[in-house]
Chains A and B, each alone.
Chain A
Amino acid sequence: MVDIGHFSLVTAWGLSVYGVAAGSLGAMRSNRALVKSAISSVHLCTLFSLASIVALAFAFVGHDYRYMYVWQHSNNTMPDHYLVSAIWGGMDGSMLLWAVIMSLYGSSVFLRPSMVRRELQNWLAPILSAGTGFFLIIVTFLTNPFRLVPGGTVPPDGNGLNPLLQNPSMMIHPPMLYAGFTGFLVPCAFCLAALLSGQLSDSWIRATRRWTLIAWGFLTMGIILGGNWAYIELGWGGFWAWDPVENASFLPWLTGTAYLHSVMVQEQKGMLKVWNVVLAVTTYMLTVFGTFLTRSGVVQSVHAFAETDVGWVFLLYIGIVSAITILLIGYRWQELRPERQLESYFSREAAFLFNNLALLGICFSTFWGVLFPIFSEAVSGEKSVVGPPFFNQVNIPLFLALLFLMGVGPLIAWRRSNKKALVKTFSRPLIAGSIITVVFLWLDPTKISAAIAFGLSVFVLATIEAEMRRAVKARRQMLEKESIPGALYQVVRRRPRRYGGFMVHLGVAVMAVSITASMAYQTERDISLSQGQSVEVGRYNLTLEELGQEKYDNYTALTAKVRIGSAEDNSLLGYMHPERRAYVSNQEVTTEVDLRVTPREDLYLALAGLDVSAQSGSHGDVDLAATPALMKVFINPLQVWLWFGGVLVMIGTGMVLIQGAFSSELAATRQASVVRGESGARA
């Protein structure tokens, strides 16, 4: 068994090296046989990488502690599902998982006949092999999870996985993120193939739309799940802290989102060609940069992985790929010239342009903030850092601009919008939004950003509502017999790409409301309660009814039973049971928060410990009956809507993805591109 995993790994990267060599030669000489053999090597490489990770999974499930990595991240008492998720419990396995998912994306490119030209297609196999191969080689030589425990002895039991990582969201959050990160290799590969082959029509963009959306969807879900994990598991009442690791996943999300929008401008107007090339490559580079950031120790993070030398290899890789891209852009400069110019700021292409600038602005400021220690040291010789206040101060205005553009973009006309149409479309949503802003300013004049954010969210919701009403009305004028829900269904069904986009925007607006509410109106209290004592927090009356201790195989739990009554008349609303666990195997203490979720607000209870100091002269056992419990109480208004908004975003992404399954729009856009392509060729 020992060598199946390692052998597969080595074979996989061997195949990817062959894929690069044979593929490039084949593409340069247009030798179809060589290209085909390179494609076969891509598939074989995927099979061998899969075999390698399956071998690692078997090693974990079979408690094979000959492997250092298995010994470090699991033990005999862990349940099977956590044994499998322990694969990505550390860096070595995470890198392997990364390479495996990337190879799957690589293979998926060749599973269906592509609509791109042969000259472009020929370059895909070597580029995808180079992408996957780089990570496989890193796994083999620098972070090999199949390294054996030194000395040849096999320890009877393992070290165990960090209990904080033994959580259902941690089983799916890392694979989701990696599926998001690695998926951006596909648009990047098509883009480089287009540059290399000179096939620079927008066919490479159309061909990769599905992968881009899938990658974007996974990344979005991964980020939201990460926030959800932090919220539930870490006990500090929040979901986002602008930590370097979070930022590392956020950077490619921002450029990926910008890319999803800017490609529409190229498809429709033949503009922003260089921009799209830059975004496609940058997004992929930023996923690698994130890996560099978390592995190199260049930034101080509460979250960073163990510092290793691996990081610098990533930086080198980024440097090489960026240099190649810049050279290729220079080489193809003439062919990348825009077919049209921006005619008016009151047009959809302008809205998308500003949306891109805002997203890139957030991306740049976040990047700046993360690397601020390095920049400041280089400039002034003194190292300084910036934290959440910096990110909020810079990014909130940009987020507000984005919200506004999210309402404007989908409804404004291409090319040039006339005044009358603008007034007709936007006057009502603008009035609705302004009223909300004024009301919130009147309620609390100090919370200006929050009032604007609420107003703009309502503006977006109102534009979506107006669009749906207009579409349903238009349809019912044609088909009077149709019911309103029936018409709505037909409208959406016929153009899932457009209305899926609206669904995503709806979800984002809902999330914006929730984030604003919890940022501006969160209540936080530290309380100390003896048994039977009560305290009032917000609309609740909390009474500590019982404090107990329970012993389990793996940990000892300190448990509290808290009665939740309404603050008005103390009528019973329910009981909450926050816990604190002390794990035996690795001395970790974790807080198991309890949540009472209502549409209006979350009541969030974290048991912080025992107030032993209130007890006189206790050196032996703690008398739980006489010891007050320390608790952190948070009231997070509208919190549940953040997760609900995330679900809407996912549904919307799914709707956009099924475009083409039963609609005629795809055919129509293809037709349009053919027509435009011809005119472009003439010009």
Chain B
Amino acid sequence: MNYKLFAAVFIVAGVLGALIWSASSSTAKRVVTVAEILERGILVDAVQLGARVVEDSKIEFITQPENTVRFQVTDISDPGPSIRVVYQGMMPDTLKPGRDVILQGTYDGADFKANSLLTQCPSKYTPPKPGAANPGEGQSETGYQYQESGAQING
């Protein structure tokens, strides 16, 4: 038997196991749905929420006193009740009604306070079928619709 080799493998595997165990227990976040959040109420530990920005809803972006994005999300597979997400930071380009987002944060009983907001990347982008509504329709001149909604809130 090649004891030196097995000892090396054994030690490295042990170290790796310890690293993985400590890192997964300290950084793992539970995955929840909107329905679960509403059922449980306040969530102190950070969780991950995969949800869809409610179709035809308004996404608000305000810059005073801090950059804040606010929008409503609902469950993707079973859209029912929605909750409001408050995210402090810049408005991502790809955040739009109907888009899927991955949020991490806590729930204070009223708002989901997200400290991380990721919108689905373009390669996910599923093209529409021919014959669907003209994709260019209903677009504002500049495309910066959300800013105007921000103005409506503060103006």
Note all chain A residues with C-beta closer than 8 A to B151: 612-613, 615, 617-619
**What's the least CB distance linking B143 to chain A, in Å?**
3
- Let me know if B126 and A306 touch, CB within 8 A: yes
* Residues of chain A in range 314-354 having any CB-CB distance to chain B below 8 Å: 338, 341-345, 350, 353-354
* Dominant secondary structure of chain B at its interface with chain A: mixed
Asked whether B19 is an interface residue with its Cβ less than 8 Å from the other chain, the reply is yes
Contact code string A503-529 (vs B, CB < 8 Å = 1, else 0): 000000000000000000000001010
Number of interface residues of B (CB under 8 A): 64
A353/B19 contact (C-beta < 8 A), A235-B93, A386-B27, A582-B144 known: no
Q: Is B43 an interface residue (CB 8 A)?
A: no
Which of A153, A354, A390 is in CB contact (< 8 Å) with B27?
A390
In the bound complex, do residue A590 and residue B93 qualify as a contact, i.e. CB atoms below 8 Å apart? yes
**Chain A residues near B62 (CB, 8 Å)?**
613
Cβ A73 vs Cβ B143 within 8 A: no
Is A611 located at the chain interface by the 8 A CB criterion? yes
Question: Is residue B80 within 8 Å, beta carbon to beta carbon, of the partner chain?
Answer: no
**Interfacial chain A residues near B89, Cβ < 8 Å:** 526
Whether the Cβ atoms of A558 and B144 lie closer than 8 Å is yes
How does the 8 Å CB contact mask read for B55-95 relative to A, with 1 for contact and 0 for none? 00000011110010000000000000000000001110110
Within 8 A of B (CB), among A85-111: 90
Among A305, A342, A373, contact of B124 (Cβ-Cβ < 8 Å): A305
Which of A300, A591, A617, A622 is the one whose CB lies under 8 Å from B102? A300
Could you tell me the distance in whole angstroms from the C-beta of B41 to the nearest C-beta in chain A?
Answer: 17
B154, A584: Cβ atoms closer than 8 Å = no
The answer to whether A393 and B23 have CB atoms under 8 Å apart is yes
Residue contact A616 to B125, C-beta cutoff 8 Å: no
- Judge whether A368 is part of the interface by a CB distance below 8 angstroms: yes
Note all chain B residues with C-beta closer than 8 A to A589.
93-94, 143-144
If A235-B93, A303-B123, A585-B136 touch, does A389 touch B27 (CB 8 Å cutoff)? yes
- Does B120 lie within 8 Å of A614, measured CB to CB? no
Closest residue on chain A to residue B147 by CB atoms: A612
Q: List chain A residues, Cβ under 8 A from B116.
A: 387
User: What is the minimal beta-carbon distance from A402 to any residue of chain B, in angstroms?
Assistant: 12
How far does the Cβ of A582 sit from chain B's closest Cβ, in whole Å? 3
**Bitwise interface map of A from 375 to 386 toward B, beta carbon under 8 Å scored 1, else 0:** 010000011111
Contact A357–B124 (Cβ < 8 Å): no
Question: Is the pair A587, B143 in contact by a Cβ cutoff of 8 Å?
Answer: yes
Q: Are B24 and A390 in contact (CB under 8 A)?
A: yes
Known: A390-B23, A394-B19. A556 touches B93 (CB 8 A): no
Asked whether A302 lies within 8 Å of B119 as measured between CB atoms, the reply is yes
Inter-chain contacts of A583 with B (CB < 8 A)? 143
Partner of B127, one of A90, A153, A369: A90
Given contacts A302-B121, A358-B12, is CB(A384)–CB(B93) below 8 Å?
Answer: no
- A300-B50, A526-B67, A615-B151 in contact; A622/B142 too (CB < 8 A)? yes
The answer to whether B64 and A613 have CB atoms under 8 Å apart is yes
Q: Could you tell me if A582 and B143 are in contact, using CB atoms closer than 8 angstroms? A: yes
Q: Which of B12, B96, B144, B154 contacts A613 (CB 8 A)?
A: B154
The interface residues of chain B lying within 8 Å CB-to-CB of A72 are 127
For A615, list chain B residues within 8 Å (CB).
Answer: 151, 155
A238: CB under 8 A from chain B? no
Binds B, one of A50-58, A159-167, A212-220, A650-658: A159-167
Enumerate chain B interface residues (CB-CB to A < 8 A). 2, 4-5, 8-9, 12-13, 15-16, 19-20, 22-24, 26-31, 48, 50, 61-64, 67, 89-91, 93-94, 96, 102, 104, 116, 118-128, 130-131, 135-136, 139, 141-144, 147-148, 150-155
Residues on A lying within 8 angstroms of B by beta carbon are: 68, 71-73, 90, 149-151, 153, 155, 159, 162, 164-165, 235, 245, 300-306, 338, 341-345, 350, 353-354, 357-358, 361, 364-365, 368-369, 372-373, 376, 382-387, 389-390, 393-394, 397-398, 526, 528, 549, 556, 558, 580, 582-591, 608-619, 622, 630, 632
Q: A304-B123, A393-B27 are in contact. List 5 more A-B contacts (CB 8 A).
A: A159-B128, A365-B23, A398-B19, A558-B144, A613-B154
